[in-house]
Amino acid sequence: MSEVTLAAARAVPLTKPKVGRDDWIMRGWMLVLAVFLMVAVLLPLYVMLSKSFENKAGDFIGLANFQEYFSTPALFLSAFNSLYLSAFSSILVMGIAFVYAYALTRTCMPFKWFFKLVAAIPLLTPSLLSGISLVYWFGRQGVANNLLFGESIYGPIGIVIGSSYWVFPHALLIVVTALSVTDARLYEAAIALRTSKIKTFFTVTIPGCKYGLISAGFVTFTLIFTDFGVPKVIGGNFNMLATDIYKQVIGQQNFQMGAVVSVVLLVPAVLAFIVDRQVQKKQVALLSSRAVPFEPTPSKGRDMAMLVFCSIIALGILAMIGMAQFAALIKFWPYNLELTLSNYDFDLANGGGWESYFNSIRMALYTAVIGTVIIFFGAYLVEKGRGFSFGRNAIHAIAMLPLAVPGMVLGLAYIFFFNNPANPFNFVYATMIILVIVTVTHFYTVGHLTAMTALKQMDPEFESVSASLKTPFQRTFIKVTVPVCLPAILDISMYLFLNAMTTVSAVVFLYSSDTTLASVAVLNMDDQGELAFAAAMAMMIAYTCGGARILHMLVSRVLITKTQSWRRR
C-alpha cells in the first residue's frame, strides 16, 4: 500500500496539450482526406490483392493462381520480356538523356532554348502516338520500312523506339536537375590541380550527379515497365505484362488472372520505387551545401559535336510528332497523299467521336481543379499541421504510394472495388466521377511532392505567428500560404491536366459509353485499324496540351510580374 502511494508521488503528471479549435478543424479535414485516400488507394489495392488469391467463384485458394501463372510459359515469358526490354530501353534512354542534358547544362552549345523546347514535346502526347507514328514510318507500308532490313517494327524494336521517345523528357528532366546542381569550385580545384578533362569528368562530374542518374534510371525503368500504350499499338504478338493484364481482363474476362499479372507488375515497380526514394534522400544531402554556380566555357569542338548530337535527337522527336501530324492530314495512306481534314471528323470513326474529346477536356479540367485542391490542402495538413503526428505521417505515407502503382493495376483495382454492388461507393462506377478519382489518385504523388517542397520552403514560423495573433489557420492559409505557393499550385494543376489528357492505362478499364475519352479513342481507333483517325485524335490531344502549356506559361509570367514586388527576383 505504502509502495503504491510512493510510486504515485514520484510519478510526475504529464502535461496533456489541450486540443484547440484549429486543431479540431485540421483533424476533421485530415479525417476527410484519410477517408478519401482509403477509398481511392488502399481499399481498391487490398481488394485487388485478395482477388489474386481467389478462384472465379471467390473462394480463397492461396497461391494456386500464381502457380498457374508461372507454369504457363506464355504468361511467364511476358514477365521476362517486360523486364529485359524495360532494362534495355532505360539504358538507351539514359545514355541519350545524359549527353543531351550535359549539352544543355555544361556546354556553350547554341540554340539551347530550341532543344529544351523540342525535348518537352513528348510530354504533350499520349504514349500511343509514338506507336502510331512508328507504324507510318516503319510499318509494312511505312516510308522508311527498308531501313529495318526486313525486321518488323511490330515487336521489340518498335517498343524500344516508342518507349524511348515518350520517356525521354522524364529522364532528361531529372538528369538536367542533377547536372545543374554542382559547385564550380570543384572544377576550379581540378584545374588548379592540373587534372585532365577526362579524369575531371569521372572524378567530379559523374560522382556529383550519380544519385540523379540512378534516380532517373529507376524512374525510366518503371515508366517503361508499366506502360501500356506503346506495346499495345506497336507490340504486335510480343507480349508484355501491361498488355497481358488488358488481354486477361478485356479479352478473356479473366479477372483473377488479371489480378495475378497486376501483382507481378506491381512488385518490381514498388521495389524500384523504394530504391529510388532511398537514393533521393541522399541527393537532398548533396543539394544542401552552398555552392558556386557553374558557368560553362566555350569549346568549339565539343560544342559543335553536342550540336550535332542534339540535332539528331531533336530531329527524331520532330519526325515522330511530325509523322503523326502528317498522317492525320493525309487522305488515304499510302495511295492518296492529298491533304484533308476529314480525319478529324471523328464522328465517322468507330471508337469514339468528338464527344470523347470533350469528355477528355472535362475530365482533365475536373482533375486539375479538384485534384489540385485535394493534393495541396492535403500536403498543407501534413506539413503544417500541429501535433497528431501519427495521422500526418500516415497520410504522407499513403500519398507516396500511388507513384509505385502502375495505372493498369490501379484501374483493375478500381473495377474490383467499385463494381461491387455491395460497395456504398458503387454509384460512381461508370461515371465521370470515377475517371476523375482514378486520375487524381494515379498522379497524386508527384503533385503531393511538389506541394510539400513549396510548403517546406515557407518559413515554418508563419503558423506560429498567426497563432500568436489569434488568427484562425484558414485565414493564414488563404491569405498567405496559397498566394506564396501559387506558382507550385499552378504547376500541380498543369501536371494533372496534361496527364489526365494523355493517360490511357488507368482509365481504359473504367470508361463507359457515356464517358469515352480521347486517349482511349486513339487506342480503340488503332484497334479498329483506323490509324488516320487515331493519329488525328492523338494530335488533338497534343494541340490541347500544347495550348494548355502556353496558357500556363502566360499565366505564370503575368503572375510573376504582378508579384515581383514581393518575390525576390
Partner 1 sequence: MAGTADDTFLQIRDLTKKFGSFTALDSISLDIKEREFVCFLGPSGCGKTTLLRAIAGLDIQTSGTIRQAGKDISNLPPEERDFGIVFQSYALFPNLTVNKNIRYGLENQKISADKIKARVAELLKLVDLHDQDDKYPAQLSGGQQQRVALARAIATSPGLLLLDEPLSALDAKVRVHLRGEIKSLQRRLGVTTIMVTHDQEEALTMADRIVVMDHGSIEQVGTPKEIYGKPATSFVADFIGTMNFVDGKVKARGAVKVGKAVFNCDTGTMKAGTPITVAIRPEDINAQDARKSDDNLIDVKVLDMEFLGSFDRVELGSTVLGDTKLRADFSINLVRRKNLSVGSELPVRLPGDLIRLYPRAG
Binding site for partner 1 (CB under 8 A): 12-23, 386, 459, 461-462, 464-472, 475, 479-480, 483-484, 563, 565-568
The least CB distance from residue 558 to partner 1, in Å, is 16
Identity of the residue, 15 or 561, whose beta carbon is nearer to partner 1 in the bound complex: 15
Identity of the residue, 7 or 57, whose beta carbon is nearer to partner 1 in the bound complex: 7
The least CB distance from residue 54 to partner 1, in Å, is 44
- Calpha distance 561→127 (Å, rounded): 35
What is 179-201 written as a DSSP string? HHS--HHHHHHHHHTT--HHHHI
The least CB distance from residue 463 to partner 1, in Å, is 9
213 in Cβ contact with 178 (< 8 Å): yes
Identity of the residue, 19 or 147, whose beta carbon is nearer to partner 1 in the bound complex: 19
- Calpha distance 540→528 (Å, rounded): 19
CA dihedral 455, 460, 463, 466 (to 10 degrees): -120
Identity of the residue, 71 or 468, whose beta carbon is nearer to partner 1 in the bound complex: 468
Identity of the residue, 49 or 490, whose beta carbon is nearer to partner 1 in the bound complex: 490
The least CB distance from residue 249 to partner 1, in Å, is 49
Tell me how many degrees the CA angle 434-440-446 measures, rounded to the nearest 5: 160
Is the bond preceding 334 in cis, omega lying within 30 degrees of 0? yes
204 in Cβ contact with 183 (< 8 Å): no
Looking from the CA of 200 toward its CB, the CA atoms found within 13 Å total 14
Q: Give burial (CB, 10 Å; 0-12/13-18/19+) of 141.
A: exposed
| Buried b or exposed e, range 88-105, using 16+ CB within 10 angstroms | bbbebbbebbbbbbbbbb
The least CB distance from residue 10 to partner 1, in Å, is 12
The least CB distance from residue 568 to partner 1, in Å, is 5
Identity of the residue, 194 or 470, whose beta carbon is nearer to partner 1 in the bound complex: 470
The least CB distance from residue 15 to partner 1, in Å, is 5
The least CB distance from residue 489 to partner 1, in Å, is 13
Q: Which residue has the cell 541522399?
A: 282
The least CB distance from residue 388 to partner 1, in Å, is 12
The least CB distance from residue 376 to partner 1, in Å, is 16
Provide the greatest CA pair distance for the chain: 103
Q: Which three cell numbers stand for residue 323?
A: 509523322
- Calpha distance 337→374 (Å, rounded): 48
Closest by CA position to 500, among listed 442, 418, 415 = 442
Looking from the CA of 167 toward its CB, the CA atoms found within 13 Å total 32
288: number of Cβ within 10 Å? 7
Identity of the residue, 299 or 563, whose beta carbon is nearer to partner 1 in the bound complex: 563
The least CB distance from residue 468 to partner 1, in Å, is 5
Identity of the residue, 23 or 355, whose beta carbon is nearer to partner 1 in the bound complex: 23
Identity of the residue, 450 or 466, whose beta carbon is nearer to partner 1 in the bound complex: 466
Identity of the residue, 20 or 28, whose beta carbon is nearer to partner 1 in the bound complex: 20
Long-range contacts of 137-144 (CB under 8 A, 24+ apart): 137/319, 137/323, 141/333, 141/334, 143/334
Identity of the residue, 64 or 486, whose beta carbon is nearer to partner 1 in the bound complex: 486
- Calpha distance 26→477 (Å, rounded): 12
Torsion sign over Cα 315, 146, 235, 334: positive
449: number of Cβ within 10 Å? 17
Q: What is the DSSP letter of 421?
A: T
